[in-house]
Every structure is written in C-alpha cells, then in structure tokens.
Copies of this chain bind each other. A is one copy, B any other.
Amino acid sequence: MVVAGVNGELRGKQQRGVEAQRALLEAAGAVFARLSYAEARLQDIADEAGISTGSLFFHLGNKTDIAHTVLATQQERMGLVLTEVLERGASTLDKIIGVFDGLAELVASDPLVQGGIRLSLQPATELDVEASTPYQEWVAVAARLVADGQKDGSVRDDIDVALAAELLNELFVGAQVLAGLEDSWQSLPLRVQRGHRLIRGLLAPQRAASSETHS
C-alpha cells in the first residue's frame, strides 16, 4: 500500500531524526558532566557522539539550546522517578526516603542527568534565570511530602515543615556535590543510604527516639 509506504518512510525518517537527537543529547549530557559549560566545546560533544559539529547544530541548535535541552530532560527524568516512587504503596516517610534513593540511583547511572546537575550548579551567565529554580521546586515537593506524612502519621507532628524541607534539600544537594567531586556520583547511592538514619531521626515520630542514627 502506498499510504503505508509513505507513512513508513516518514516514520522511518522521523524515527532516525529522533534517535539521533536522543543520542546527541546523551553525549552532550556526558560532556557537561565532566566539563563546565564554558569549557565544554561543541567539538567534544560531536566527538563523543561520533558526528560532525554541523550535524550537532542541525539537530540541537545553539550551545545554549543544547544546555537548556539537557536541563529540561534531566528535570523530566527526575520527575519520572518521583512519580514512580509516589505510586508505590508505602508510608509517606518511606516514600520520602524512596525518592532520595531513587534519585541517587538515577544520578549515579545516567550521565545526562549528571550533566544537568553540573549545569544547574554553575553560574553560567548565558543560561542563568531558570537554572536555579528547579531547586525551589524540589523544596516544594519535599514540603508537600512532609506535610502528607504528618497527615498519615508517618512523620512527627511537631515539626516545621518548611524548615525540614529545606534541610532535606540541603542534605541531598550536598551529597550530590560531594559525590560528584569525589567519584563522578558513583558513591551517591551509598551516601544517601548513610543519611537514612539522620532523616528518620529528623522526621520519624518520637517513640524510640532517633537512636537509629547512631551506631
């Protein structure tokens, strides 16, 4: 059938284009993960992807366009982890910890996400503006979860929700940064795990006190 042929061709070409774009993005993320925005050369990205700089421009546009797309994709993937964890049946406190673990796992295994993190931590004049806003969003997410936990009883009542959210965020960001410097995020899941006790101590109801945090 001609129609089918045409469709197939179109899908084939689109498919190729989309795939190439995805591959290029991964390469870009990997480069931004190990070089600062200004230091990363488009040539590096093109080499990493095995294509020419001309094609790079064709598919992803500007250097700033590339960075923005990496950032957007990173947010998307982190958002996916969030929703996936939230769908699990568990106490809210367990979900909070699950989110940390899930994100740590994602960061440790996905170079594009690593690149996004590096980008969002830099003061790149060319990108700025929305670079820092994601962190505010994550604080909001944390606050919502803590409040939910208070409703279902898995988080103690006498806690300042905003403060707790801020501290959780600082802790995670600190772990991210240090893991990034130390071993390219390979140790992030471990670092997060080592923080479980502190988090439970901070959030869990008083019963047994926060003795878990301690050896």
Question: Which A residues contact B (CB, under 8 angstroms)?
Answer: 34-39, 118, 121-125, 131-132, 135, 156, 158-160, 163, 166-167, 169-175, 177-178, 180-182, 191, 194-195, 198, 201-202, 206, 209-211, 213-215
| A158-B215, A210-B210 known; A121+B177 contact, CB < 8 A | yes
Copies in the complex: 4
* Interface pairs (30), CB distance under 8 Å: A35-B125, A36-B38, A36-B123, A37-B38, A38-B38, A38-B39, A121-B121, A121-B177, A121-B181, A123-B180, A131-B181, A135-B178, A156-B214, A158-B211, A159-B215, A160-B215, A163-B215, A166-B191, A166-B194, A167-B198, A170-B178, A170-B191, A172-B174, A174-B177, A177-B177, A201-B210, A202-B210, A202-B213, A206-B209, A209-B209
Residues of B contacting A181 in the complex (Cβ-Cβ under 8 angstroms): 121, 123, 131-132, 135
A148 CB to nearest chain B CB (Å): 17
Residues of B contacting A209 with CB < 8 Å?
206, 209-210
Chain B proximity of A112: nearest CB distance (Å): 16
> Across the interface, do B202 and A198 meet the contact criterion of CB distance under 8 Å?
yes
Contacts of A118 in B (CB 8 A): 123
- Bound complex: CA of A131 vs CA of B35, how far in Å? 14
Does A122 contact B173, Cβ atoms closer than 8 Å? no
Residues from chain B with Cβ under 8 Å of A122 in the complex: 36, 122
Asked whether, in the complex, the Cβ of B34 is within 8 Å of the Cβ of A123, the reply is: yes
Contacts of A158 in B (CB 8 A): 211, 214-215
Complex CA–CA separation, A176 to B60 (angstroms): 33
List the B residue with the shortest CB-CB distance to A161: B215
CB-nearest residue of chain B to A32: B123
A215 to B206 Cα, complex, angstroms = 13
**Quick one: closest B residue to A160, CB to CB?**
B215
Closest A-B pairs by Cβ, 3 of them: A174-B174, A38-B38, A170-B174
CB atoms of A175 and B182 under 8 A apart: no
